[in-house]
Amino acid sequence: LIETLLYIALFVIIVGAVLVATYNMIASTDKTQFRSLAHNEAQFITHKLTWLLNDAINATASGSTLTIDYASSSDLIVDLNGGRIRVDGVELNGVVAPVTSLAFVVTPAAGGSPTQVQMTFQIQNQYYNETFVSKKLIR
């Protein structure tokens, strides 16, 4: 009877350890997926904003709002509203990657160098916190 109780106790300890290890692996995987999704959204925002400036002839910034002027079409307005970066009202990011700050700095053309637009935004959620900085020259 004592041997049986010892085997049962060892079995319970082993099963408990396996359950704890499995739970930790699943939780770690969820965190990693969450971080990956947030990072992918941040990369998408960076590439999209850079792409929007490709055909721009001028840009003006006011805090977290950027107005992009085009020669052949109407101007675009990029702004931050409730954790979401918007381009003419269309949101670029979702709830996985809320943007906590957005700033634009436009350096006008001078001495033969083209206009430069610097974009800085921060994404922060419970598992991910990173600041992204990107520069684009307007020719």
Choose among 130, 139, 137, 132: nearest CA to 103: 132
Residue 22 confidence (pLDDT) = 93
Q: What is the mean pLDDT of residues 23-34?
A: 86
Q: What is the pLDDT of residues 34-64, one digit of tens each?
A: 888 888 988 999 999 999 998 888 899 998 9
pLDDT, tens digit (0-9, with 9 covering 90-100), for 62-120? 989 999 999 888 899 999 998 999 999 999 988 888 999 999 999 988 888 888 999 99
Question: Residue 133 burial (CB < 10 Å; 0-12/13-18/19+)?
Answer: exposed
